[in-house]
Structure formats: structure tokens, C-alpha cells
């Protein structure tokens, strides 16, 4: 039966699928998709197995396994000095992307407007459109990818329902600064604007910089949905498990959508994470671990023609080639895969409007030998 109209008529196969398929076809080193290629923690795997053997194989509570929510609340107080009621303010979800979709669906109505910064994670705009709302696109300022807050102010209308933030940022590795928090407070003060804060790379912050989570600021948290991912912090992206923190009234609306979508999240993994999350060093050491990956990749890339931009967080760093080629980003990415055996992602893929700054995204959260093999090939460009 023919569908009379599409809710996402402009959506096709994502560049991530295209590049991964191409990487497989040409046996390329895949620095495109954001996942580690090294093993996750064996202790966490063992605890999942223990939970399954102990009988934790049926539905967990719709809001999430309470010991896990309690441990998350303890972690938030330790890190950010904020007390969170695990009963009313935390919901466990099947992944960070799911949490983002559910938060948007909980509050958006047709005709609402959402401030979205570009480049940005590819799920944001489709999530807004499928809810009948309109993305208001604001470009981050290349090459530092900072927010132009005056442009944000000029973009506000009576229909502005939400501002979406992502720090550490995918794809650029930029992080929010204190001046961003000050400007954000100024923009939303006295309004009914929600904030959706995508903080899935929460612990992957480099160079001694703090992670300025919305959880630090009570006045911002009272209007925020803050979304996280266990997959990103424990190198198990295929687990698809995360959580959302929000004030009780907003969380109540979030849970209305959640209960009729997936209802419940993987039980044995929740049980395992409830105890593993108490091993604080496992997440507190992540920043330095991944920073070492970044630094090693930067050192290796000195042997290539790319000029690397700053990355202060996430799995990603951008490399500029504008000084040696006029090729469009997509063409360059395709050529690197086919002719040199290295898959990347063109940053233009993270924009809805045509933009071509001659930069590619590299994922450096890989084994050293993977990075070495990739750079050996890139050095021949």
C-alpha cells in the first residue's frame, strides 16, 4: 500500500551508512563512525552475565531499575553538587538518541520552533520535523565552532519552544564555556523556553576543562531535559542504553511518551550498571584516556597534509584541507575511502543548508594500531 505522504520527505540513507558500506567495500580503515574498536570493560560484561544468571531477565520498572537511578543521583551530586530525586527526575532509556527524541516529542506541538546549531548530530532535525515543529538553524562560527548568541536572540519568536545544546559537541569537539552559560541564562530568563542538553560525551572532556552540564545550574535545570549515554562512556555503543534527567513536571510528560514507545529498558544491563557505576574511577579516568588517543592522533597527523582544528571533547576532531584542495567535502571523503583506504565523514553532512568549509570529521577513539594504519595511508595523499 502506498503511503500518501512522508513525514520526512527529504530523508534518505545517512552519510554514516554510505561511508561505512564504502569502507567495507574498499577495506578502508573506518575513522568515520563514532565507535571504539577496542574491547569494553570485562568486569562490566561479567556483571551483566551475573545479573542474567541471577534472574534479572524480565521487565524492569518503566522509569528504570531504581538502584541504577539512585546511583545516577549520587553521581550527579558528587560531580555537580545538585540533588536529584531518582523517583521523579530520572528515566532510563534505550540510548541517548531515544532520550532526545522522547524529550522533543513530549513538549513539541505543530508550529513550534526549535533553535538548532549546525553542524549538529543528524537526529535532531528529523526529530523536530516528525513532530510538526520547525528547526531554526543557526551556524556555529567556523573554525572554532562557537555560538553566536546575538544571532540566537534575533532568531527568537513567540513560537520558540526549545533550544538544543550539545557539549562536548559532535562533530567538532567544541565545549560550552562559562560565557555560553551566562548568555544562555540571559536568553531564556523570563521565558517558557525549554533546553534540551545532549551530554552523551559528558566524561570525554580534555585539557583540564570542566564539563558545564545543565545539572550544575538550578535555574537552567528547571527548564531542561538533559540526555546521557552509557554506551559512550563505557565503550559499548551497541548496548543502546542511556538516561534523561528533567524536572518532575517535564519528566512526567516525557514518561507519557516513553511508556507507549519502548516502555522498559534492558534489565540485566541496568542491574550491572547500578553496581558498576559505583566504580567511580571507571568514568573519572575516561577524559585522560581518550585525550591520550586525541594527542596521539594529532602527533601522527603531522605527517599528513591536513591541518587539525581544536577538539576539547568527544570522540572526534576535524581536519581542514582547504589549503591544498578545492574538492567539496563529500567528494574528498569518497576519494579518501576509494583511493587511500580511509573512511571519514564530511562535516557538510551535519548541516541542512549547503555548507562546505573543506573539513572532514575523524574519530580518534580507536586502537593505536588502527590510527597508525589510517595515518600511514593518509600520508600518501
Q: What is the pTM of this model?
A: 0.96
Position 2 pLDDT exceeds 90: no
Please state, in angstroms and rounded to a whole number, the distance separating the CA atoms of residues 176 and 72: 22
Domain 15-40+284-378 and domain 58-279 have a common topology: no
- DSSP letter for 146, please: B
pLDDT at 1: 61
pLDDT band at 353 (very low <50, low <70, confident <90, very high): confident
**What are the domain boundaries of the chain?**
15-40+284-378, 58-279
State CA 43 to chain mean position distance: 25
- Could you tell me which of 230, 280, 252 has the C-alpha nearest to residue 87? 252
Q: Which three cell numbers stand for residue 332?
A: 574528498
pLDDT at 9: 86
Please state, in angstroms and rounded to a whole number, the distance separating the CA atoms of residues 235 and 179: 31
Position 13 pLDDT exceeds 80: no
pLDDT digits (tens, 9 = 90+) for 106-158: 999 999 999 999 999 999 999 999 999 999 999 999 999 999 999 999 999 99
**In this structure, are residues 239 and 268 in contact, taking their beta carbons and an 8 Å threshold?**
no
Q: Which CATH number describes the domain made up of 15-40+284-378?
A: 3.90.1150.10
The class that CATH gives domain 58-279 is: alpha beta
- Could you tell me which of 125, 174, 143, 116 has the C-alpha nearest to residue 358? 143
| Over residues 351-373, mean pLDDT | 96
pLDDT digits (tens, 9 = 90+) for 155-208: 999 999 999 999 999 999 999 999 999 999 999 999 999 999 999 999 999 999
pLDDT at 12: 76
Amino acid at each position: 500500500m502506498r503511503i500518501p505522504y512522508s513525514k520526512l520527505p527529504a530523508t534518505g540513507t545517512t552519510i554514516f551508512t554510505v561511508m561505512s558500506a564504502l569502507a567495507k567495500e574498499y577495506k578502508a580503515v573506518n575513522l568515520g563512525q563514532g565507535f571504539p574498536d577496542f574491547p569494553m570493560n570485562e568486569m562490566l560484561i561479567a556483571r551483566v552475565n551475573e545479573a542474567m544468571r541471577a534472574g534479572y531477565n524480565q521487565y524492569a520498572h518503566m522509569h528504570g531499575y531504581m538502584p541504577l537511578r539512585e546511583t545516577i543521583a549520587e553521581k550527579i551530586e558528587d560531580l555537580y553538587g545538585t540533588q536529584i530525586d531518582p523517583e521523579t527526575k530520572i528515566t532510563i532509556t534505550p540510548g541517548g538518541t531515544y532520550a532526545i527524541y522522547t524529550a522533543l516529542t513530549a513538549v513539541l506541538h505543530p508550529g513550534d520552533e526549535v533553535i538548532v546549531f549546525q553542524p549538529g548530530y543528524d537526529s535532531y532535525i528529523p526529530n523536530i520535523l516528525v513532530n510538526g515543529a520547525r528547526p531554526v538553524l543557526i551556524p556555529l562560527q567556523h573554525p572554532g565552532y562557537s555560538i553566536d548568541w546575538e544571532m540566537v536572540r534575533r532568531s527568537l519568536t513567540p513560537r520558540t519552544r526549545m533550544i538544543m545544546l550539545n557539549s562536548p559537541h559532535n562533530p567538532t569537539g567544541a565545549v560550552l564555556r562559562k560565557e555560553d552559560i551566562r548568555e544562555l541564562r540571559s536568553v531564556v530568563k523570563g521565558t517558557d523556553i525549554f533546553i534540551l542538553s545532549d551530554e552523551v560525551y559528558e566524561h570525554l572532556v580534555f585539557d583540564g576543562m570542566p564539563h558545564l552540564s545543565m545539572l550544575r545550574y538550578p535555574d537552567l535545570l528547571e527548564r531542561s531535559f538533559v540526555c546521557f549515554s552509557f554506551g559512550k562512556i563505557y565503550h559499548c555503543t551497541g548496548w543502546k542504553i542511556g538516561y534523561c534527567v528533567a524536572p518532575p513536571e517535564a519528566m512526567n510528560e516525557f514518561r507519557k511518551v516513553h511508556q507507549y514507545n519502548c516502555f522498559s529498558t534492558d534489565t540485566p544491563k541496568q542491574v550491572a550498571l547500578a553496581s558498576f557505576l559505583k566504580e567511580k574511577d571507571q568514568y573519572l579516568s575516561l577524559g585522560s584516556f581518550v585525550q591520550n588517543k586525541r594527542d596521539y592522533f594529532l602527533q601522527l597527523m603531522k605527517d599528513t597534509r591536513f591541518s587539525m582544528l581544536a577538539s576539547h571533547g568527544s570522540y572526534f576532531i576535524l581536519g581542514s584541507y582547504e589549503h591544498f584542495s578545492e574538492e567539496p567535502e563529500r567528494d574528498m571523503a569518497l576519494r579518501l575511502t576509494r583511493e587511500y583506504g580511509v573512511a571519514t565523514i564530511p562535516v557538510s553532512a551535519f548541516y541542512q543548508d549547503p555548507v562546505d568549509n573543506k573539513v572532514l570529521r575523524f574519530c580518534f577513539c580507536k586502537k593505536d594500531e588502527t590510527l597508525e594504519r589510517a595515518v600511514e595511508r593518509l600520508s600518501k595523499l
